[in-house]
Amino acid sequence: MPGRDEKNNPGFRLIDRRGFLKGAALGLMSMALPHRSDASFWEGFFQKHFREMNSEEIREVIKRLEKEYKEKYKVDFNIKTTKPLPGVLFGYGLDISRCIGCRRCVYACVKENNQSRDPQIHWITVLRFRKGEKWVSNLEEADKYYYPDRVPEEGYFYVPVQCQQCENPPCVKVCPTQATWKERDGIVVIDYNWCIGCRYCMAACPYGARRFNWGEPRIRREEINPNVHYLGNRPRYRGVVEKCTFCIQRTREGRYPACVEICPVGARKFGNLLDPKSEIRYCIEKKRVFRLKEDLNTFPKFYYFFAI
């Protein structure tokens, strides 16, 4: 008799359809999740959104990350979460009548912001155009692999492109997890712990400014910059998107971005758009400025100008 077996054997239980499905779902879920037992992993997995955390919760996250980075990179990191300064909206100016295309900015950015050396990631791309040719609408066809013996070359000009920090950023609109957003000082930031790597933002960005970590980022230990910001240059993970943040870790403390300080011809200008006495306001008011792809209504805060 079937009834007797059920009663005598405690290990045997008739499973109904609902119970079976419940169990199957739980089992599959546990298979899908990585088999990790350390608490730090699960704390990271269930971490709240950065803007919903209070200062106590943020402090705990920072403590956890500093420990993780110490184990991974054998370097003591100082992770800051400096807030936006009140009354500040960052703007950037780039004088293309002076830029000589030497790429010092590209590698100063790599150094400051801990980009992966292999697989290689650059946040700045310098485009080369032939003088006198139609170019503003043809950014994709520009040459970014030029490598002559000496720059500047006769008959060419150079346009460095990086994140334009749009006031109306299309990348933010498409993010399905709200892992990227615009801060009050106008910087578009990414939370690498919330990014799921879907790369919608990269498809949405009209400037090609975002980069994806296809592999585990690798940097020589002695070249790591340990002074980092949570929303900026802290080490990234495989499978997350990154981009220029106007050196958030420096500029929120009043310093210039790394690319501004390295530029040998002083073509890069930076400042507060809300301060009428700032360098960037002087550029906008006194020089012939334009922004890339203005017709898309992204309202970039990155102004190109001709000083000559």
Partner 1 sequence: MIKKIHITCLLFLLLATSLMILEGPVTAEDAGDELVEFPVPPPPFSEGIFPCSNCHAGMEVNTTKRELEFHQNIKLKHFDGWCFDCHNPDDRDTLRLASGKVISFKESEFLCGQCHGTIFRDWKAGVHGKRTGMWNGRKEYRLCVHCHWPHAPRFKPIKPLPPPVRPDDIKYRKLRPEEIPSNPLEEILRGEKR
What residues line the site for partner 1 (CB under 8 A)? Answer: 85, 88, 93, 100-104, 106-108, 110-111, 117-120, 122, 125, 144-152, 214-215, 218-221, 223, 251, 254-256, 260-266, 269-272, 275, 278-279, 282-283, 286-287, 307
CB of 168 to partner 1, least distance (A): 24
Joined tokens for residue 214 = 């296809």
**Residue 35 or 220 having the CB closest to partner 1:** 220
Distance in Å, CB of 278 to partner 1, minimum: 7
Q: Please say which residue, 249 or 272, places its beta carbon nearer to partner 1.
A: 272
Counting every residue written for the chain, the total comes to: 308
Please tell me the distance from the alpha carbon of residue 2 to that of residue 165, in angstroms, as a whole number: 71
Q: H-helix or E-strand containing 181?
A: strand 180-182
Considering the complex, state which of residue 49 and residue 117 has its C-beta at the smaller distance from partner 1.
117
**Cβ–Cβ < 8 Å for 70, 220:** no
The residue (of 95 and 191) whose beta carbon lies closer to partner 1 is 95
> How many CB atoms are closer than 10 A to CB 189?
21
Phi and psi at residue 153, to the nearest 5°: -95, 150
Shortest distance in whole angstroms from residue 236 CB to partner 1: 15
DSSP assignments along 82-97, one per residue: PPPPTT--EEEEEETT
> CB–CB of 307/98 below 8 Å?
yes
Q: Give how far Cα 284 sits from Cα of 2, 100, 185, 302, 307, Å.
A: 87, 22, 18, 11, 11
Residue closer to partner 1 (CB basis): 6 or 143: 143
- The rounded Cα 283 to chain-centroid distance in angstroms is 27
Query: Which strands, in side-by-side order, build the sheet including 288-290?
Result: 268-272, 90-95, 302-306, 288-290
CB 219 within 8 A of CB 116: yes
State the minimum distance, in angstroms, from the CB of residue 56 to partner 1.
30
Q: By the 8 A CB rule, do 230 and 73 touch?
A: no
Minimum Å distance from CB 157 to partner 1?
14
Shortest separation between residue 257's beta carbon and partner 1, angstroms: 9
Distance between CA atoms of residues 8 and 161, nearest Å: 75
Q: Which is nearer to partner 1, 12 or 145 (CB)?
A: 145
Residue closer to partner 1 by CB (options 94, 201) is: 94
- 207 CB-near residues (< 8 Å, 6+ apart): 139, 161, 163, 164, 292, 293, 300
Closer CB to partner 1, 91 or 300, in the complex: 91
In the complex, minimum distance from the CB of residue 271 to partner 1, in angstroms, rounded to a whole number: 5
**Are 302 and 206 contacting, i.e. CB atoms less than 8 angstroms apart?**
no
Measured from the CB of residue 102, what is the shortest distance to partner 1 in angstroms? 5
In the bound complex, what is the minimum distance in angstroms from residue 181's beta carbon to partner 1? Answer: 23
**Of residues 52 and 154, the one with the C-beta less far from partner 1:** 154
